[in-house]
Amino acid sequence: MNLLLNYCLLITVLLVTVTGCKSEDESENRPDLDSVEIRPEVVFDVVDDEPLQFFIESRGVVEPAQRIQITPRIGGFVEQHNIVEGRFVEQGYILLELNDDEWVNEERQAYNEYQKAKNEYEIESRLRNDSGSGSNGDESLLRITTGLAEAELAWERAKLNLSYATLEAPFSGRVSAEQVVSNGAYVSAGQNLGLLIDASRVRIRFDVLESEIDALEEGMAVELTGPGGKEFEGEIIAISPVVKTETKTGQVLVEVENPDYELKSGMTVEGRVFVRSESSKVRMPREALLERDGRTLVFKLNTDEVQWIYVTPEAMNSEWVLINHPEIAPGDTLAVDQHFSISHQQKVVPLLVD
């Protein structure tokens, strides 16, 4: 009995010893959470003393300098045409020619009627002059009573209709046609057959806020960026004298040389006009500026620690801010991203902006 009791006590002591050793080992290996330092990654950029440029920016849609609808004044059957999508047509070239047999006959008939009325007028005029009853006031009346005045109008109208059978390009340009026009097809008077577009020069209308439009003048250069990122340069040729009451904007018309036709009608482009520049001690990215408790501040990098500095912006645009602070100089490094939740004198992992 005593032997069994001693044996149980021995096992108990061994278990306590092993458990105690294991607890001590775990305590030694477990890190002290209070001593762990967490350093967030923060993106920084270097500030400079370059001047701050101010631009007026807007967005507009490209339209050609010249554009007309290809619309026949009279109906008829197509004899020949150049109404083909994308076709270049020189000024004076035929866009559309209709069969003119009908109009030639009408013109000849009208001419014959005119000659007949003219003969009657001349005979009647001689008779009146011989009898001494003619006067200047009777001249106009005689033209009417003999039918000469009406015949003249009919002949002029017939010649005009005959001229409408051929439609020539008033300027050089490219054809835009959404429908196919075939020789021999009948087209109606007033039917829209397509567009003739001269896009060697294009115009863009920009809406500008009423608070900014007074800073613009005709002749100012305009920097333009197309949908693909390519840059162009234009010039302000007109500023609208009217501001829209609904949008509080005025319209500015910009003209751009487009010899390679890279700007297409209907494209949306970005435009900006340089209006002035300002300078100060430091120019910094606008992303560096934060606001807390109604005050603006930045985080300056000192080795691996950030310093919280209150600043007052002197001027700013959409990209940059000008400041003049004794603790910030050109060449200093300020936080510009991933810095919204850091605090004063916090150690960080600094990353430079690309």
Half-sphere exposure of 13 (CA within 13 A, CB side): 6
**Tell me, what's the pLDDT at 188?**
94
Provide the residue range defining the domain that includes 261.
59-65+201-278
Co-location of 182 and 231 in the same domain: no
253 close to 236: Cβ distance less than 8 angstroms: yes
196 close to 88: Cβ distance less than 8 angstroms: no
Q: Which residue has the higher pLDDT, 279 or 5?
A: 279
Co-location of 186 and 274 in the same domain: no
pLDDT, tens only, 155-168: 999 999 999 999 99
Q: How confident is the model at residue 126 (pLDDT cuts 50, 70, 90)?
A: confident
Co-location of 126 and 139 in the same domain: yes
Rounded to two decimals, the pTM is: 0.66
Collapsing DSSP to helix, strand or coil, 225 comes out as: strand
Distance CA 346, CA 350 (A): 12
Collapsing DSSP to helix, strand or coil, 140 comes out as: helix
Q: What are 78's strand-pairing partners? A: 98
Distance CA 180, CA 189 (A): 17
Q: How many domains does the chain have?
A: 4
Query: In percent, how much of the chain has pLDDT > 90?
Result: 75
Co-location of 181 and 208 in the same domain: no
pLDDT, tens only, 200-237: 999 999 999 999 999 999 999 999 999 999 999 999 99
Q: What are 308's strand-pairing partners? A: 299
In the predicted model, is pLDDT for residue 12 greater than 90?
A: no
Co-location of 79 and 186 in the same domain: yes
Q: At what angle do helices 136-145 and 101-131 cross, to 10 degrees?
A: 140
Section 79-98 average pLDDT = 94
